[in-house]
Structure formats: C-alpha cells, structure tokens
Structure 1
Amino acid sequence: MSRDFLKAMGWAVLGSFLFALMFCLPKLTSEAVPPVEIAFLRYFAGFLTILPFFLQRYGASQAVPELLGTAKRRLNLLHMLRAGCGVASVAFGSYAVLNIPVANAQAIAMTNGVFAVALAAVFLRERVASRDFVAGAVCLTGAIVVARPDPDAPGWISLGAAAALVQALAWGSEVVLLRFAAVNDTPQRTLTIVNGSAALGLAVFTAWAWDRLPLPDLLILLAMGPIAIFGQYCNILAYRAAETAKLVPIKYSGLVFAALLGLLFFGESPRPAAILGAAMIVGGALFLARHKPVQTAAALRP
C-alpha cells in the first residue's frame, strides 16, 4: 500500500468524521431549532470561512469580476442550483437527526449514491445495467429496514425517516451537479458561490421566521460551517491522492462515526435491524461504486 494512498485514506476518514459530527450538532442544542435557521447558520458560517481563501487566491480587486463575470455565468447557475440541493440536504438532514437516532439518519442518507447513479443516467447519459438496478434495490430495501415502517400505524413511516430519504435525494443531486460543474472551476470559487448563494437565499426566509437562540446554541450551529468547509477540503485532498473508486468504501466510515457519536452524546444504541439495514445499504452502494467508475473530467465538460 503506497504512502499516497494511506494519506488519502486518512483524509477521507477525517472528512467522514467531520460530516458525521456536523449533522450531530443540531441535536446538541438546548431546544429544537427550525431547520431553515440551521441551514442558514451553516451556510453563512461556511461562507465566512471560505471567503478569506477565495480572496487570497484571486485578490480583493478581482473578487467581484471573478464572481460575476459573464464568461462563467452558466457555471454560476449550476453552482447556485447545487446550493439549493445543499440547503435541502442540510435542512432535511437536521430535521432527521432531531427526530430519529443519528446512526439511522446517517444510514438512510447514505442511499444518496443510488439517486446519484439514477440522476447521472438521466442527465449525464451514463449507462445503467441490470445489476445496478439490483444493487440500488438492495440499498433502498436497507433504508426501509432502518426506517422501520409500521403499515398498521397512522403514520406508517416516521417523518424523521422520510426527511432522511429526502436528504439522500438532495445529496445525490448535489453529487451529480458537482461532477458536472466543479471540474471546470476552482474549489475556492466553487465553495464561495455555493455557500454565499445558499446563505443569501436563506436570509429572507430566516429573517421572517427567526427564533432568537441562546449564545451556546448559536455557537454550536455556527460551528457547522467551518466543519463542513474543512470536511470538503479533506475530501478534495483525498480524491487528489487516490482514485475515487478506491476511496468510496472509506466514506462509509461515517456510519460508524455516527453510531459512536449517537451513543456517546445521546445514549442511542443501534438496533439489530438498523445494523442489518445499514449493512445492506453499504453492500449495495459498494457494488454500485465498484461497477460504476467515475467519468473523467473531460467527459463531463458542459
């Protein structure tokens, strides 16, 4: 095993831990916070975190022309569309962890790979074989097992589990948009536009429905921004040092971290059915990753 691959594994594991931690933070607040407010604070703090790195690369005098130049208008629109998917992912993911165990929410969210493959087949014209359908069905069945629906109950599936599934769809959409747009842009510019446009779009809704938070809760939710930026940076370093297909299994360490964080902070012990469902999700997703190699950047250029 090469030293570069060991470094890539280390960065990927750290990135998985940071994202598991980020989605735990809303559950540490002293009171339930509206998901739209959580999403605003996450992206606002993320924008403030990435802005100095953007200014360092492009300079203060070129910042506005670089962001608003007509030459990259199409890329900007794709970044803003990705920001919308990211907002949905954070908002629904926050609602999920507030209403179901953290490990369950993380496991259901990990079905995002199924949606990414399906959307890539539609919008990026990637071929989908019958075995891909089987792997996707295994993943989604695992999500149903984790969600533990009760057909006899008035609400046969919990709203928390449904929110985690919507998060997975939004997350999968974000992955496809990232693959389509970010290959033609720098990480600094991409993250600045995504975080800035998301914060700006959410500001109107948040100002209308703002709930004043205690300072400790405010600081906890603001910490989501830097953690997310650093987690994305870890992923960038990981994928620069190793092939995507080799690192896909590593990202599922996030399930382990989510289970450990849930046990440590909230006393949430995973049920046997949840463990079985998570294993089905990971197994199906790994099969998809091994048999669906990522296209080259050149093949994805608009």
Structure 2
Amino acid sequence: MPPRLTYLPAILWALASTAIWTLIFAAVKASGGAVGAFQLTFLRGIGSLAVLVPMALATGGFGQYQSRQPWAHLARTLCGSGAAVAITWASAEMPIVDATAIAMLYGPLAVVLGVVVLAERVGPLHGLAVAVSLAGALVVALAQGAFSGGLVLAPVLASLGGALLMAVEGVLIRVLGQRDRALTVMLYVTVLGLMVLAVPAVLDWQPLGPLGLLACLALGPFAVLGQYCTIRGYRAAPLSVVAPVDNAWLVFAAVLGFLAFGEVPGPMTVLGAALIIAGGVALTRVKAR
C-alpha cells in the first residue's frame, strides 16, 4: 500500500520562511530608528540582487529567466513591497507583538482567497487546524501584552493593509511558483521592487555609517533565502495549507523578544505556542490532493 501523502515538506518550507522573515521585519525595530522602512527595504533589495545576479550568470545567463507573465510579477512586487514596508513601519511605531498580531489576519484572508480565487477545498480537519492555529496566535498575542497599551490608528491600519497585501501576494506566489523557476520569481520581484522603492527610499533616506550600511545590505541574502523557502512551500501545497503556518510568526516574535530584550514567556504564551504547534501538526495530517 503506498504511503499516505501529506503536505509536511511544504509546511516545513513555509515554517523556515516565517522564521527568516520575522528577523527581517524586526530589523527596523532593532535599528532604533536609525533607518527608515523604505530605505531598509531598498538596501535589502540591493543586497538580494548582489546574490541573485551571480546565481543567474552562473546558471546560463538572464535569457532563460524571462517570464511570460511579467504583469503578474509586477502585481506581486507591488503587493510584497507594500506589505514589507507597511509591516516594518508598523513594527517600528508600535509594539512588535501588536503589529504581528494584527498581521496574523493574513492567514484567514489567504485561506478565503485560496478557496474563492484558486478553487481550493477546505475539509473539516483542515478547517479545524486553521482555527486552532489562529486561536493559539491570539493567545500568544494577548499573553505578550498585545493591545494592552492602546492602539494608534495609523500603525493599526498599516498592519491591516500589510495583511491584506500579503494574502493577495500569496495567491500570486502560488500561481507564479507553479509556472516559473524559483530564481525567475526572485529576480523579477527584486528588480521590480528596487524600481518601485527607489523614489520613496531617497525621500526616506537617512545617513548611515559603513557598519549600518553593511548591516542593511546583509539582510539581502537572508531575504533571498526567505523568498526561496516561501516559493518552495507555496509551490508544494495549496495556499489554504501553507498560509496558516505563518501563525508561527507570533511565536518567533515572542522568542525574538526573549533573546533580544530578556522578555520571559509566561504560561499563556506557552499555551498559545502549543496550540499553534498543534494546528501545524494537524495541517501535516491533511491528505495531499
């Protein structure tokens, strides 16, 4: 009897991507306001391009990485760049756990888009896994003090907008990841992203020393790795399966707070993390179609 196929590999790819992007989105917070969201995202793009160009040249040149759907890549770029800037800015203007909790709406939004736009099916176990994971994310957010200090409208709207843009981008990544090579997808989003962000980055520019500039550029290779993990995950499973994995983002944010700021997680945080893990385990039991 053949083994029962599941989406475990895709979920692991998505989990790795979530961990990497959590660190990247926290970069502005760690900088203490020394660099703006547009500037950081632009410099990160340059760092990414410094990795992608040699990869393309070493594998036959740019000709074989042309896409037949450039407009879809542009739409994905606009969504991804907008989401990255919105969430990075919101994380700098409000507690990172608050911004992350609001952005967690990306998961349910992506599941809805997966069903409506991509005609994906969500069965009982699948739906339960998403609900348990989302409940765990809410428990972690509240345990970490999310929303306890009140909310400022602009960062809240930025986080909500970022969640919606990420959900739309998820649909596009799912489609593009199945039709184009991973390097093609990464080249397009990086080059187009630099073009889109050039003017806002110049207007947002703040002087940086050599170490600060190098630190921003060094995020580029991590972004490439994060993109690759994202593409692999979204290529291997329906959006409604991989998108809820991003609830682990909140757990990673809590871990980051502990490592960087000495914030010890309490019992409710541990409970929420357990629920997120349980939801993730349930997703691995969803039968692959």
TM-score (norm 2): 0.73
CA–CA distance in 2 between the matches of 1:138 and 1:76?
35
1:124 aligns with 2:107: no
Give the direction of change, closer, same or farther, for the CA distance of 1:14–1:25 in structure 2 (3 Å limit): same
Q: How far apart are residue 108 of structure 1 and its match? A: 3.3
1:54 aligns with 2:56: yes
Q: How far apart are residue 180 of structure 1 and its match? A: 1.5
> Percent identical across equivalent pairs?
32
In structure 2, the residue matched to 1:28 is 30
Residue 124 of structure 1 aligns with an amino acid whose one-letter code is L
Deviations 1:125-174 (A, max 9, x none): 44568995996699499659648558xx9x75554344333222211111
Q: How far apart are residue 181 of structure 1 and its match? A: 1.9
Cα RMSD of the aligned pairs, angstroms, is 4.3
The equivalences for 1:35-74 within 5 A come to 35-59=37-61, 62=63, 66-67=65-66, 72-73=67-68
CA–CA distance in 1 between the matches of 2:243 and 2:281?
7
Residue 216 of structure 1 aligns with an amino acid whose one-letter code is L
1:266 aligns with 2:261: yes
Count of residues in correspondence between the two structures:
279
Out of 207, 219, 222, the residue aligned to residue 202 of structure 2 is 207
Q: How far apart are residue 253 of structure 1 and its match? A: 4.3
In structure 2, the residue matched to 1:230 is 225
Give the direction of change, closer, same or farther, for the CA distance of 1:182–1:97 in structure 2 (3 Å limit): same
Indicate the larger mover: 182-191 or 242-251. Answer: 242-251
In structure 2, the residue matched to 1:111 is 105
For structure 1, the 5+ residue unaligned runs are 296-302
1:256 aligns with 2:251: yes
In structure 1, the residue matched to 2:182 is 187
Residue 123 of structure 1 aligns with an amino acid whose one-letter code is V
For structure 2, the 5+ residue unaligned runs are none
CA–CA distance in 2 between the matches of 1:281 and 1:157?
27
Secondary structure of 2:26's counterpart equals helix
TM-score (norm 1): 0.71
Does structure 1 conserve the Cα–Cα contact (< 8 Å) formed by 2:173 and 2:231?
Answer: no
CA–CA distance in 2 between the matches of 1:166 and 1:13?
22
Does structure 2 conserve the Cα–Cα contact (< 8 Å) formed by 1:12 and 1:250?
Answer: yes
In structure 1, the residue matched to 2:169 is 174
Q: How far apart are residue 198 of structure 1 and its match? A: 0.7
Give the direction of change, closer, same or farther, for the CA distance of 1:223–1:132 in structure 2 (3 Å limit): same
Indicate the larger mover: 173-182 or 130-139. Answer: 130-139
Indicate the larger mover: 201-210 or 180-189. Answer: 201-210
CA–CA distance in 1 between the matches of 2:28 and 2:100?
14
Give the direction of change, closer, same or farther, for the CA distance of 1:89–1:246 in structure 2 (3 Å limit): closer
Out of 79, 82, 97, the residue aligned to residue 85 of structure 1 is 79
Q: How far apart are residue 12 of structure 1 and its match? A: 5.6
Does structure 1 conserve the Cα–Cα contact (< 8 Å) formed by 2:137 and 2:272?
Answer: yes
Give the direction of change, closer, same or farther, for the CA distance of 1:82–1:136 in structure 2 (3 Å limit): farther
